[in-house]
Structure formats: structure tokens, C-alpha cells
Structure 1
Amino acid sequence: MRVNCVGAIIVDDAGRILLIKRGHPPGMGLWSIPGGRLEPGESDADGVRREVLEETGLWVEVGRLAGTVERPGPGRVTYVIRDYLATVADGVPTAGDDAAEVRWCTADELARLPLSAGLLDALTGWGVLPA
């Protein structure tokens, strides 16, 4: 079964990327970009806005698609994850929902954190990492 998911690549004016530490499986304890499963009938943009708000307390404007990855899930599930660029419109980052922590990271910090499988490679390949 294929499950549609979305993620948000959010970079601030200081060139840092917003990451959350997953508080629940899958990926519990790993750092990733905010995101999750789409709800039935939900558009990608609406899903990105909802997931970011639930996990970080931030309202975002959704930009272009950065890229798509597929990741294996439990059983025979395949997560199809479409990651979008997004910018903060309002709010202060606060961990919520599935996020145990939320923080802004430089590219150097990103390389030292325990990240979700394939995240660093995908962000690098899409050319969206902060300099």
C-alpha cells in the first residue's frame, strides 16, 4: 500500500533549516523536517500547512515542490513523501503533536544530528540545504 505524505523545507533568514525530533514511531528520536501523512481529500499544500502548524506552531506559506522520495514503512506500506519549500508567515517554533523538540539548524549542525534515513542525501541532491 502506498501512503501519501508531505514535508516542509523551511529555511530562515539566517540560513538555518527547521528540524523536528520525532516523538513517535516511525522515526522516533530522529531529526527530520516537519511533515506527515495527508488526510483523505487534502491537497499537498493544505497538508503541509496543517502538519507544520501541528508539529511546530508555525503558520507557513507553501512554495514549490523540492522533490519526492519513497520510504518503506511497517508491513507492506510505502510512504510517498513530497517535500515542499515553505516560508514562515507567523508564529514561534514550539514542539507539538509528533514533535518532541523543534530547532533551527545550520548545515554543520545538520550533519552531526541523528537524521531520518536518506534526509541529508535528499536535501543535498535537491540543492535546498542552507549554505
Structure 2
Amino acid sequence: MPPVVQPARPQLAVSAAIFRGGKVLLARRARSPAKGFYSLPGGRVEFGESLHQALSREVDEETGLKIEIVGLAGWREVLPATAGAGHYLIMSFAARWVAGEPALNDELDDHRWIAPDALADLGDLKLTGGLEEVIQSAHRLIGP
């Protein structure tokens, strides 16, 4: 199998901290990047898409959920740590669950609804870098 050729520029991506009943959805990545890590649903922005369009599409593709986007919760830059790794700018949004039950596509292999204040107690789960901070920021935007 030939090596994956990474783009010469950073790639723009989006993710959603989706809240339902006081809990946030975490999904485990089934493939690289971040295979085996729990993170937020999301993915790359396609040319001509707005961030909100891309986010709604990615959440629907990965989980089958419909969401209401509340606002920007934060961003994260993932730099290529090793040869062949990508460079991503991920814009993370707070969102409310509107409809549907998680039906994961092949990019994800597990999901959990977790209370934001329980994140620190999840020592057995591998979380992507900066995830807790984004979720706490998103939780403040969602409100009680």
C-alpha cells in the first residue's frame, strides 16, 4: 500500500460538542487520525461549505443525529508530529441534540453520553488533546 500523501497546507475541520439531557456525546475514532481516541464528531470542511454546513453534514454522516448549532466553543491546531501526519485546524462548536439516535458510520466504533463534570474521572478512556477544555467551553455556551 503506498504511503498517504498529506496536503501541503493545513486542512480546516469542524467538530461538535453535542449536548442532550445534560450529557455530551463522545465518539471513538475507528481510523487515523486519532484511532482509538474518544473525541467529538466532525471532519473536514469541503470547498464552498460554510462551517455550519460542514458541521451539520459531518455530524449527520458520522452519527445520524440532527443538531442545533449554538456557537463557537473553541479551536485546536493539530500539527504533524511525525512524517505522514496531517496538519489540521479544528473549529469546535457547541450544539444541542435535536433528533435521532446515534447510528455510527465506519469512521467511529463506539459512543458514550458523558456528563461534562465526569470527564476528569474517565481515566480508562483515551481522549484527544484539548477535548476537556472544548467541552467545558461548549457547556458554558449551552447553559443550564
TM-score, normalized by the shorter chain, greater than 0.5? yes
What value does the CA root-mean-square deviation take over the aligned residues?
2.1
TM-score by length of 2: 0.79
Number of residue pairs matched by the alignment: 129
Equivalent position amino acid for 1:12 in 2: R
Equivalent position amino acid for 1:48 in 2: L
Unaligned runs of 5+ in 2: 1-8
Q: Which stretch shifts more, 1-10 or 97-106?
A: 97-106
Equivalent position amino acid for 1:92 in 2: E
Shift in Å at residue 109 of structure 1?
4.6
Shift in Å at residue 105 of structure 1?
1.1
Equivalent residue for 1:3, pick from 11, 28, 31: 11
- Measured in 2, the distance between the counterparts of 1:46 and 1:89 equals 16
Shift in Å at residue 26 of structure 1?
0.5
Q: Report if the CA contact (8 A) 1:58-1:88 is conserved.
A: yes
After TM superposition, the runs of 4+ consecutive aligned structure 1 residues lying more than 6 A away are none
Whether 2:51 is the aligned partner of 1:44: answer yes
Report SS of the residue matched to 2:139.
Answer: coil
Partner of 1:120: 132
Q: Report if the CA contact (8 A) 1:93-1:103 is conserved.
A: no
Whether 2:11 is the aligned partner of 1:23: answer no
C-alpha deviations, 1:19-68, integer Å up to 9, x for none? 11001100111100111111111110011111111111101121211111
Shift in Å at residue 89 of structure 1?
1.7
C-alpha deviations, 1:64-123, integer Å up to 9, x for none? 111111112464742111011111221111221311112211235533121012212343
Q: Report if the CA contact (8 A) 1:16-1:106 is conserved.
A: yes
Equivalent residue for 1:100, pick from 106, 109, 130: 109
Partner of 1:91: 100
- Measured in 2, the distance between the counterparts of 1:35 and 1:21 equals 12
Equivalent position amino acid for 1:9 in 2: A
Partner of 1:62: 69
Larger radius of gyration: 2
Unaligned runs of 5+ in 1: none
- Measured in 2, the distance between the counterparts of 1:64 and 1:108 equals 20
